[in-house]
């Protein structure tokens, strides 16, 4: 066990403890918000595997969340001819798998695209999903614009908090195992140089579609969990903007950093809802009034902060923190591997 591993494992155990105890100290409303943070955290973990590690951009992950959400809605409700009426939590993994399969299949056309073109192709998914859900032809499954009512009554904040974090933490560990192993390394090789990856035996079609599949699985689970507190889902429960917000969350948290996704999720959840008040509280001290309740202020603040992150920390908040920490831990992490005592063959 390396020192780096012990530090990470220790930090993880502390984080789990803090997450378990936190609801004792906060209001039920805050717990509800932090439960939603766990949902975004899951979605960002998946998107980061795809974009941060495999280097494939997606502006369509809101659509995979939508597929997960609709799967859960269809399986739990007594709507239409298909009344499975399953337990909603039991449908979450199924929702993940359905979204994962769609994501995997979407990976095939995506193979021919890169960069801006891939961004647009995935964006098309995000644009198409609400319209598809609304369409008359699919209304028998999706409920059209009236949506689907879920059987569960609005849950308490604590309930949602614990449920969502119970999904999020194992999925974080899973993502970590994927990223640090052979699969994650192959993903990064694809990101860094496709030509060298192929020449090293990595099949681009296989690894790109698998990356899309894994990341859509995460989005599907997140979308299913998001359906539960909303108690009913409509085409606009998963709007186009959601896909863009997810990508900004990954960038703010730090491309490639899994723990950074918690920061990205907090950013997504709180900047628009609470950010303006926080900013006003600071500005009050210098006597500036930004009229924080005016419409548009949250979006402008979101935009400005995103810009600030892009300009000051290209590797996200996680990258910024890591740079600070590395000054302290450089000697531990980057100690050279001891040269072998026996002379190398070169000198022999």
Q: Where do contacts with other proteins occur on this chain (CB under 8 A)? A: 181-183, 185-186, 188-189, 192-193, 195-204, 333-334, 336-337, 339-340, 344-346
How many residues in total does the chain contain? 348
For other proteins, the closer of residues 24 and 182 by Cβ is: 182
Instruction: Tell the smallest beta-carbon distance from residue 344 to other proteins (Å).
Output: 6
Instruction: Tell the smallest beta-carbon distance from residue 284 to other proteins (Å).
Output: 43
Residue 148 φ then ψ, to 5°:
-125, 135
For other proteins, the closer of residues 112 and 339 by Cβ is: 339
Instruction: Tell the smallest beta-carbon distance from residue 338 to other proteins (Å).
Output: 8
Distance CA 240, CA 267 (A): 18
Q: Which residue has the tokens 């591993």?
A: 5
Question: Any idea what the Cα angle at residue 261 is, between residues 197 and 330, rounded to 5°?
Answer: 70
Instruction: Tell the smallest beta-carbon distance from residue 115 to other proteins (Å).
Output: 17
For other proteins, the closer of residues 112 and 345 by Cβ is: 345
- Cα dist. 118→72, 96, 218, 249 in Å? 28, 23, 20, 19
For other proteins, the closer of residues 23 and 254 by Cβ is: 254
What sign has the CA pseudo-torsion 167, 211, 266, 70?
negative
**How many Cα atoms are found within 13 Å in the side-chain-facing hemisphere of 332?**
11
Instruction: Tell the smallest beta-carbon distance from residue 319 to other proteins (Å).
Output: 12
Instruction: Tell the smallest beta-carbon distance from residue 36 to other proteins (Å).
Output: 32
**Which of 244, 294, 245 has the alpha carbon at shortest distance from 266?**
245
| Start-end of H helices in 200-239 | 204-230
Instruction: Tell the smallest beta-carbon distance from residue 267 to other proteins (Å).
Output: 24
For other proteins, the closer of residues 199 and 312 by Cβ is: 199
Give the three-state DSSP class for 258.
coil
Q: Which residue has the tokens 């600070």?
A: 324
For other proteins, the closer of residues 71 and 257 by Cβ is: 257
Q: Which residue has the tokens 């979006």?
A: 299
- Cα dist. 301→78, 123, 223, 322 in Å? 42, 24, 26, 25
For other proteins, the closer of residues 176 and 270 by Cβ is: 176
């Amino acid at each position: 066990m390396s020192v780096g591993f012990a530090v990470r494992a220790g930090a993880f155990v502390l984080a789990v403890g803090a997450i378990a105890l936190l609801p004792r100290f906060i209001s039920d409303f805050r717990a509800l918000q932090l439960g939603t943070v766990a949902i975004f955290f899951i979605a960002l973990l998946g998107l980061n595997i795809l974009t941060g590690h495999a280097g494939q951009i997606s502006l369509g992950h809101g659509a995979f969340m939508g597929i997960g959400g609709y799967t859960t809605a269809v399986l739990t409700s007594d709507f239409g001819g298909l009344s499975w009426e399953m337990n909603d939590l039991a449908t979450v993994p199924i929702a993940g798998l359905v979204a994962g399969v769609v994501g995997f299949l979407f990976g095939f056309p995506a193979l021919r695209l890169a960069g801006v073109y891939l961004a647009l192709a995935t964006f098309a998914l995000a644009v198409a999903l609400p319209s598809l859900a609304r369409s008359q032809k699919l209304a028998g499954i999706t409920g059209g614009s009236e949506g689907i009512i879920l059987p569960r009554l609005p849950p308490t904040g604590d309930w949602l908090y614990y449920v969502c974090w119970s999904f999020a933490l194992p999925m974080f560990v899973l993502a970590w195992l994927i990223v640090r192993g052979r699969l994650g390394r192959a993903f990064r090789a694809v990101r860094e140089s496709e030509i060298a990856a192929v020449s090293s035996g990595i099949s681009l079609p296989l690894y790109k579609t698998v990356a899309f599949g894994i990341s859509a699985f995460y989005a599907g689970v997140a979308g299913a969990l998001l359906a539960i507190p909303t108690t009913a889902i409509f085409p606009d429960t998963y709007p186009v903007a959601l896909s863009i917000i997810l990508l900004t969350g990954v960038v703010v948290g730090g491309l490639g950093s899994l723990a950074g996704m918690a920061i990205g999720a907090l950013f997504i959840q709180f900047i628009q809802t609470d950010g303006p008040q926080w900013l006003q509280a600071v500005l009050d001290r210098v006597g500036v009034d930004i009229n924080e309740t005016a419409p548009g202020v949250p979006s402008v603040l979101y935009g400005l902060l995103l810009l600030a992150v892009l300009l000051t920390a290209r590797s996200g908040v996680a990258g910024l923190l890591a740079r600070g920490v590395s000054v302290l831990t450089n000697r531990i992490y980057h100690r050279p591997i001891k040269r072998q005592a026996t002379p190398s063959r070169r000198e022999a």
